[in-house]
A and B are shown apart, each in its own frame.
Chain A
Amino acid sequence: MPGGGQCPDCGSTELVEDSHYSQSQLVCSDCGCVVTEGVLTTTFSDEGNLREVTYSRSTGENDQVSRSQQRGLRRVRDLCRVLQLPSTFEDTAVAYYQQAYRHSGIRAARLQKKEVLVGCCVLITCRQHNWPLTMGTVCALLYADLDVFSGTYMQIVKLLGLDVPSLCLADLVKTYCSSFRLFQASPSVPAKYVEDKEKMLSRTLQLVELADETWLVTGRHPLPVITAATFLAWQSLQPSHRLTCSLARFCKLANVDLPYPASSRLQELLSVLLRMAERLAWLQVLKLDKRSVVKHIGDLLQHRHTLVRKAFRDGTAEMEAGEKELRGRCQGPEQGKEEVASSSLDLPEGKRPASPTPLLPPCMLKPPKRICPPPPVSTVTGDENISDSEIEQYLRTPQEIKDFEKAQAARQAARSVSNPP
């Protein structure tokens, strides 16, 4: 605020230096009278030192917005551009950020939280448009901790009262699979490892659907399942050359990070496929294991609906009759004997079918780590007498106090010696 100067109209001394487009003006903030104004046009010699002013900076809109909010909004736009999102997403994300900023808790939050808030707004926008963006990607781009991100995300969803749909698995499969660098030969990718994108995508989708149906996806992070499914799909398309390649090597070739749970998801998926293979007539005679079943994934996926129904029974239902299940293409003589066996019974001869195993999530199939005994019956009323001896057991005797103090002093002395000032 410049000192001195009075408005000729109303006589107030509240004069503000403001600019209207590229013309600087001295304006009275009470009545709006323009007291003095600069030159609107510039001469050629003046222009040498001048710079272009963007429209958003020339209008006064950013003066009402705090600097940190401006920074945040800029980060939101940058993030949208880095992720190559459509322009409508940018506007929505910016609107969410502004909406969040109206809450005092957000305005007073630490910078780290405001930075993470940028990611949250973009993520919510993507989720609402079914754009498959994972939290891991956003955190990696923002160099943010997933814990901080999750706290801010849950808070902002609750604060703004938003309805955020779940991550769309099919779209995630498409985007994630497309990021695998296996569709063209290169120095790192031998010709036998190159695969057609469409075939791989469709097979991966089928495998992911199978995993979803057999309880391998619920409650778990979606990405490792997709990694495992992509690997199996890729292997099964040319098993003769690719069975020797491990999951870790595959991810390295494809230039994709291997998520840690992917190997256990792979084992789970393979065991599901093995159970299904036991129900397929021409595969029963072959003693399949987790490696050889990969060769037959194509067949298994083709008949997956019937096979899942046959191979697994409802976890809570009674066992169905075994005879019904093997109609049609049964070749070998099968006894169809009903076995009241648990799922651990793996038949050595491929002739008799195993009894259907329950279709349950893996956490329910594992034996309980420790059986919690029901807590003992407690007849506590809360008003019982408390004996002195019981309380005395928690108190130190005077001798113990002296010893303790001595020990503490010694420790303090030792610490000050070891940490010289």
Chain B
Amino acid sequence: MVLQRQCNKTFLLMQGQRCCEYADDLAPPGSPLLSPIVPDDGYIPNTSNSETVFNSHLQEVKGASGHFSSVDLSFLPDELTQESKDQSVIRSKQDIEENCKTQSQQSRLSLPREQDMGLGLINDSTLSKSHSQAYPGDADSVQPSPEKPNSTPLMSITPMTPVTPVSECSGIVPQLQNIVSTVNLACKLDLKKIALHAKNAEYNPKRFAAVIMRIREPRTTALIFSSGKMVCTGAKSEEQSRLAARKYARVVQKLGFPARFLDFKIQNMVGSCDVRFPIRLEGLVLTHQQFSSYEPELFPGLIYRMVKPRIVLLIFVSGKVVLTGAKERSEIYEAFENIYPILKGFKKA
């Protein structure tokens, strides 16, 4: 357990280093962003009490693990116990939230945290507890940050999947708007029978060779084909998409077909966000012409095809950005973090 904790600390140190690399260009050294996780390399430490607690931990860690020049996750143990994962995930997210509270949009922050936790790492009870503590729904309420750092030991770890829902740099988190998934029900279906027996189905074989079925909760639409394959669209999260697909499968089961639930796969995820400043699209297409396509005669937005991760972004003059083509939530976040510094470069006219 002690060894685990030390590894956790080191990981956080490296997260901090990475945070500092990013934040170098954007935030001055003395900013509150850097202070809680600042390593001892010459950044101007601020004089708050919390600093000393962190620094002492960091020195201990440095002695133990030596010098890290890049983020290397290979030493991390393969599994952590559920309970330590719970605690550490909540705490780390609280830490990151505090870092970014000062320069981020607060209402957007609370969302991905819950959603990430919903990914199955945490059970619901700890989730609700942390809700009441750390996520005030009202954007104007004060974060209890002065008390927090002293009580929270620096032995937290961010989750295994490399998800940084709130970047230390932009503070804006894209919201998922649509998830498209497919599943195989593994039985031949009689679409006419389904359309007859189900209230929420429409079937027009002359127009389209599938039954279009809708359910109210989660609010989604499914295309059910006679081969037994099904496409589910309209969900706002991966779990909702899975639940909806299961509900459709259950409806088909109740209609008398031996439906199963095989190969559920998320095919596409769409997210959107707002950077809150206007963007000179003509300038962007000049500097990034190999990735961008801007044809105002055809479409008002700029189509940016990012290579890594492979995401297509629609960037509009109002600063709204739509990200699509992702198979994983992290790809959307990563793509936005990649594009944000580029967009900031086009902020001034």
User: Is chain B a partner of chain A in the same complex?
Assistant: yes
Q: Are B243 and A380 in contact (CB under 8 A)?
A: yes
Chain A, Cβ-Cβ closest to B119: A381
Chain B residues whose CB sits within 8 angstroms of the CB of A364 once the complex forms: 278, 318-319
Q: With both chains docked as a complex, state the minimum distance between the C-beta of A93 and any C-beta of chain B, in angstroms.
A: 19
Q: Contacting chain A: which of B83-91, B103-111, B155-163?
A: B103-111
Chain B residues whose CB sits within 8 angstroms of the CB of A219 once the complex forms: 281, 296, 300-301, 316-317
Asked whether B348 is an interface residue with its Cβ less than 8 Å from the other chain, the reply is: yes
Known: A364-B278, A401-B196, A401-B197. Is A382-B243 also a contact (CB below 8 A)?
A: yes
A246-299 at interface with B (beta carbon < 8 Å): none
Q: Are B278 and A378 in contact (CB under 8 A)?
A: no
Chain A residues whose CB sits within 8 angstroms of the CB of B301 once the complex forms: 219
Q: Are A394 and B215 in contact (CB under 8 A)?
A: yes
Chain A, Cβ-Cβ closest to B280: A218
Count contacts on B: residues with CB < 8 A to the other chain.
60
Specify the main secondary structure of chain A where it touches its partner: loop
C-alpha spacing A136/B319, complex, angstroms:
27
Q: How many A-B residue pairs have CB under 8 A?
A: 139
Asked whether B236 is an interface residue with its Cβ less than 8 Å from the other chain, the reply is: yes
Q: Give a binary string over B290-325; 1 marks a CB under 8 Å from any A CB, 0 the rest.
A: 100111111111000000000000001111000000
Q: Are A135 and B298 in contact (CB under 8 A)?
A: yes
Chain A residues whose CB sits within 8 angstroms of the CB of B115 once the complex forms: 378
Known: A360-B278, A394-B215. Is A378-B175 also a contact (CB below 8 A)?
A: no
Q: With both chains docked as a complex, state the minimum distance between the C-beta of A361 and any C-beta of chain B, in angstroms.
A: 5
Q: Are A316 and B198 in contact (CB under 8 A)?
A: no
Q: Are B317 and A361 in contact (CB under 8 A)?
A: yes
A2-54 at interface with B (beta carbon < 8 Å): none
Chain B residues whose CB sits within 8 angstroms of the CB of A217 once the complex forms: 296
Q: With both chains docked as a complex, state the minimum distance between the C-beta of B223 and any C-beta of chain A, in angstroms.
A: 16
Asked whether B251 is an interface residue with its Cβ less than 8 Å from the other chain, the reply is: yes
Known: A218-B282, A315-B278, A375-B111. Is A213-B218 also a contact (CB below 8 A)?
A: no
Q: Are B348 and A314 in contact (CB under 8 A)?
A: yes
Asked whether B150 is an interface residue with its Cβ less than 8 Å from the other chain, the reply is: no
A208-253 at interface with B (beta carbon < 8 Å): 213, 215, 217-222
Asked whether B188 is an interface residue with its Cβ less than 8 Å from the other chain, the reply is: no
C-alpha spacing A219/B282, complex, angstroms:
9
Q: With both chains docked as a complex, state the minimum distance between the C-beta of B168 and any C-beta of chain A, in angstroms.
A: 21
Asked whether B233 is an interface residue with its Cβ less than 8 Å from the other chain, the reply is: no
A-B contact pairs, 22 of them (CB 8 A): A150-B295, A150-B299, A157-B293, A215-B278, A215-B349, A218-B280, A219-B296, A219-B300, A222-B296, A364-B319, A374-B108, A377-B131, A378-B239, A378-B240, A380-B218, A381-B243, A386-B246, A391-B254, A393-B199, A394-B199, A395-B255, A404-B196
